[in-house]
Amino acid sequence: QSEYQQGSIQRFRINVRDKYPVRSFQTSSIYLNNKALPTSSYYQIKDLDTEEIVVDYDTVFTKISCDSTGMYFDTYMNGLEPERYYKILIKTVIAGTTLVLDDNYYFKVIR
């Protein structure tokens, strides 16, 4: 979704897959196979109007969780200012290299 109510609790799902999957001949799509990020993966929420970081990376409170469906994190929308656009950034450490993933995930909090 692109808009969320101010008092709601939203679950954001993260789809992780190979950028260049190994070629295979099968009847189902290879893009349906969901992968998982390392346990050292965190999210950040940034206000697009002011470029201010509203929720910063934290090793405890912004850790990305995982269940049988895939990777996710929950956000309380009452902590965000209504009628503003926000951007989600994801930070992960893969093989000792810190990557900040910015895939232009935007959303708006409405009243």
Q: What is the pLDDT of residues 78-108, one digit of tens each?
A: 989 999 999 999 999 888 889 898 888 899 9
pLDDT of residue 64: 92
75 by Cβ neighbours in 10 Å (0-12 / 13-18 / 19+) ranks as buried
pTM greater than 0.75: yes
